[in-house]
């Protein structure tokens, strides 16, 4: 599975990364051309390798091996710190260090994970999906992800045009404040999500709902705890000192945390749909929810400025969740109807004595 995923994902990712960074080197900067080239090269490589490391870690969770995933992350952290110190000590130019260290850490982590999987491979061989099957499912997942990213870019553009660049800067500061808890919530939920997907694959609706509820409670507790800290006064809350712009507008941080929490909840429906083999509906749902979100952002941006984006995120999350639940219910109804249909096979010859 890992090999097929790499064959399907690495070449296009590397190609797009090289093209994007090559284009970036053509733009005039105040920095030296060698520095721009160093950042472009290392960024192109990291943007290809880093998702592969994330994928390896997620496969470990899917295989019900959370400690293997933890060791993979620990190796990455250890090598990142080691590489940062070593590159600085050996006098490597500063432009090569940040993403260069991350590249080394990801390569070391991937190597350690691959060795561990091959060493402890189960004797029971499971036939992985073919490269064609991987691409077929992946294109719908990529489509949904692209729609999500384009929706955020479009929202930022709308706010910049209708409310000014200052509002965009205010939102970006708020997004950074909410980022730590988002990363933590995703990491905590990663251990439970495979169980949600397996339950969906089995058609166990009650089990899927139970796992989904568990993740929501876990993520909700994390957001509440983080919100209680981040809304404290400056001496206690480091975020207020680091990103004061985010706290200039009353309620913007709270609204961003709420919208981000709803987005994390909505993603669970997408993962349940993936487990239930209903991945084809993800892109249409993303398009519909993003269109509604952009309409809301466009209408609110002239009067509410930076507030329009988290409101749009919240509405997008609620609409995605509602549409996803509806798709799952239709799939369950189809499977139930199919199971109730009588078999068209030949009649049995066993008529008894």
The helix (run of H) or strand (run of E) holding residue 266 is: helix 252-275
The pLDDT, as a whole number, for residue 146 is 84
In this predicted structure, the answer to whether residue 294 has a pLDDT above a threshold of 90 is yes
Please name which of 309, 311, 323, 222 lies closest in space to residue 266, comparing C-alpha atoms: 323
Residue 6: its H or E element: helix 2-25
Structure tokens at 181: 């808890």
pLDDT-derived band of residue 350, with 50, 70 and 90 as boundaries? very low
CA distances for 98 relative to 95, 180, 344, angstroms? 7, 19, 64
pLDDT value, residue 185: 74
Q: How many CA atoms lie within 13 A of 67 on its CB side?
A: 2
Residue with tokens 């994007």: 20
Q: Residue 92: what pLDDT?
A: 86
pLDDT of residue 348: 46
Mean of pLDDT values over 56-80: 80
Q: Would you state the pLDDT for residue 159?
A: 92
In this predicted model, which residue has the larger pLDDT, 338 or 24?
Answer: 338
By the 10 Å C-beta count (0-12 exposed, 13-18 middle, 19+ buried), 306 is classed as buried
At residue 17, does pLDDT exceed 80? no
Residue 152 CA to its chain's centroid (Å): 14
- At 342, is the pLDDT very low, low, confident or very high (cuts 50, 70, 90)? low
User: Quick one: 183 exposed, middle or buried, by C-beta within 10 A (0-12, 13-18, 19+)?
Assistant: exposed
Average pLDDT over residues 177-186: 80
Per-residue pLDDT, 310 = 93
Q: What is the mean pLDDT of residues 142-153?
A: 86
Q: Give the per-residue pLDDT at 321.
A: 92
User: What whole-number distance in Å separates Cα of residue 213 and Cα of residue 196?
Assistant: 10
Q: How far apart are CA 98 and CA 95, in angstroms?
A: 7
Structure token pair of residue 153: 């870019």
User: What pLDDT is recorded for position 50?
Assistant: 80
Distance CA 113, CA 103 (A): 15
pLDDT for the residue numbered 129: 60
Q: How far apart are the C-alpha atoms of 74 and 55, rounded to whole Å?
A: 15
Portion of the chain with pLDDT greater than 70, in percent: 79
Q: Averaged over 78-90, what is the pLDDT?
A: 90
Residue 249 has pLDDT above 70, yes or no: yes
Lowest mean pLDDT among 182-196, 204-218, 302-316: 182-196
Residues whose CB is less than 8 angstroms from the CB of residue 72 and which lie 6 or more positions away in sequence, other chains included: 53, 56, 57, 60, 109, 112, 113, 116
CA dist., res. 39 & res. 26, Å (int): 13
Percent of the chain scored above 90 by pLDDT?
17
Q: Which of 57-71, 88-102, 143-157, 253-267 has the lowest mean pLDDT?
A: 57-71
- Label residue 351 by pLDDT band (50, 70, 90): very low
| Residues contacting residue 257 through CB under 8 Å, at least 6 positions apart | 178, 181, 223, 226, 227, 230
CA gap 347, 212 in Å, rounded = 43
Contact present, 83 and 42 (Cβ < 8 Å) = no
Mean pLDDT of all residues in the chain? 80
């Amino acid at each position: 599975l890992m090999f097929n995923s790499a064959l399907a994902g690495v070449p296009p990712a590397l190609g797009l990364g090289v093209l994007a960074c090559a284009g970036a080197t053509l733009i005039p900067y105040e920095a030296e051309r060698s520095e721009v080239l160093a950042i472009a090269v290392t960024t192109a490589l990291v943007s290809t390798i880093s998702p592969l490391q994330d994928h390896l870690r997620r496969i470990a969770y899917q295989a019900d091996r959370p400690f293997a995933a933890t060791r993979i992350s620990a190796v990455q952290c250890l090598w990142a710190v080691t590489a940062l110190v070593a590159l600085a000590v050996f006098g490597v130019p500063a432009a090569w260090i940040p993403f260069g260290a991350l590249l080394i850490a990801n390569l070391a982590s991937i190597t350690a994970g691959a060795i561990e999987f091959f060493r402890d491979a189960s004797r029971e061989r499971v036939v992985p999906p073919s490269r064609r099957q991987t691409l077929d499912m992946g294109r719908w997942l990529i489509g949904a992800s692209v729609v999500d990213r384009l929706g955020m870019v479009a929202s930022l553009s709308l706010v910049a045009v209708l409310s000014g660049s200052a509002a965009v800067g205010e939102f970006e500061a708020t997004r950074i404040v909410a980022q730590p808890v988002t990363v933590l919530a995703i990491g905590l939920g990663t251990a439970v999500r495979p169980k949600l997907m397996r339950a969906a694959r089995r058609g166990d609706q009650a089990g899927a709902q139970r796992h989904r509820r568990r993740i929501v409670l876990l993520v909700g507790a994390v957001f509440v705890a983080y919100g209680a800290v981040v809304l404290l006064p400056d001496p206690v809350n480091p975020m207020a000192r680091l990103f004061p712009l985010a706290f200039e507008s009353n309620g913007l941080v709270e609204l961003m945390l709420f919208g981000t929490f709803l987005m994390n909840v909505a993603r669970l429906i997408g993962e349940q749909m993936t487990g239930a083999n209903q991945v084809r509906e993800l892109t249409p749902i993303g398009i519909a929810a993003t269109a509604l979100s952009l309409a809301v952002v466009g209408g609110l941006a002239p009067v509410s400025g930076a507030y329009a984006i988290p409101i749009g995120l919240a509405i997008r999350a609620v609409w995605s969740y509602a549409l996803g639940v509806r798709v799952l219910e239709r799939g369950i109804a189809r499977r139930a109807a199919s199971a109730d249909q009588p078999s068209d096979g030949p009649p049995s010859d066993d008529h008894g004595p």
